[in-house]
């Protein structure tokens, strides 16, 4: 590349007086004005040399896949950490709320008789902690309080009591409580699904199928009942063959 001298070295001032006789812009007295002298001193001769590329075009940095991958990985990592932190905080708040309710209810029920809702809530907390043996007497007290109150729905209490027996693998007692729940509220599909599950644990596929079909009678789109009905039908048809 043919580089101009003015790009390599500082501009050299030209003496306009050296060739004043040849300069048509000189005045008659042979002197040149200050403005013209400065313009002439910094005048760059026109030639065919080319300017360097870094004078003509700005430097561009192309973003390639290799350069973008670290940024993508870092962004994904930040998102995953944020989601994990949100779930952790949510679980911590839930645990603190449960522990606060547990302490409050235990203190109150030690001092005075509780209501149906208080017995049921404390028993449900024990179930979440997988303390079925402590939950069963609370649900029984909730049933007695509900009978005295009169208008409290009994189906959720019977269902919770049945689930507590189910956790202790007392399936016959669990089935009895689930049936009581359905007797008080036939469209209580949670109790019907639990009843079917208890029958399956006792290896009784036909009653289990009937329990799940009872669920589909009131909730045709129930995914659990649909899946178990299809599985039990295949099982019964295979046993018949």
Across the 241 residues of the chain, what is the mean pLDDT of every consecutive 10-residue run?
A: 43 46 49 51 51 50 63 80 81 75 83 89 92 94 87 90 96 97 96 97 95 96 95 84 59
- Tally Cβ neighbours within 10 Å of residue 74: 10
List the one residue out of 112, 199, 119, 201 whose CA is nearest residue 160. 119
78 Cα distance to chain centroid:
13
Domains, in order of start, for the chain:
1-61 (no CATH), 92-240 (1.25.40.10)
How far, in Å, CA of 27 to CA of 14, rounded? 18
Whole-prediction pTM: 0.63
Residue pointed to by tokens 């669990």: 174
Give the tokens for residue 225.
């009942």
Q: Which pLDDT score is estimated for 65?
A: 59
């Amino acid at each position: 590349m043919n580089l101009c001298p003015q790009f390599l070295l500082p501009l050299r001032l030209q003496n306009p007086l050296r060739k004043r006789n040849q300069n048509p812009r000189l005045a008659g007295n042979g002197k040149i004005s200050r403005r013209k002298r400065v313009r002439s001193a910094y005048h760059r001769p026109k030639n065919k040399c080319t300017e360097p590329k870094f004078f003509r075009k700005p430097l561009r940095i192309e973003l390639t896949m290799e350069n973008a991958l670290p940024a993508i990985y870092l962004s994904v990592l930040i998102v995953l950490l944020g989601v994990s932190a949100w779930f952790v905080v949510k679980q911590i708040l839930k645990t603190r709320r449960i522990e606060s309710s547990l302490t409050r209810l235990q203190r109150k029920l030690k001092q005075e008789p509780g209501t149906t809702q208080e017995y049921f809530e404390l028993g449900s907390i024990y179930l979440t902690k997988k303390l079925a043996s402590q939950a069963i007497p609370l649900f029984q007290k909730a049933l007695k309080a509900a009978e005295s109150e009169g208008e409290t729905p009994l189906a959720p209490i019977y269902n919770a009591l049945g689930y507590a027996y189910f956790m202790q693998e007392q399936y016959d007692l669990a089935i009895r409580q689930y049936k009581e729940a359905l007797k008080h509220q036939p469209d209580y599909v949670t109790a019907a699904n639990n009843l079917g599950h208890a029958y399956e644990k006792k290896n009784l596929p036909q009653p289990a199928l009937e329990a799940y079909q009872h669920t589909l009678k009131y909730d045709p789109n129930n995914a659990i009942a649909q899946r178990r009905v299809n599985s039990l039908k295949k099982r019964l048809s295979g046993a018949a063959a």
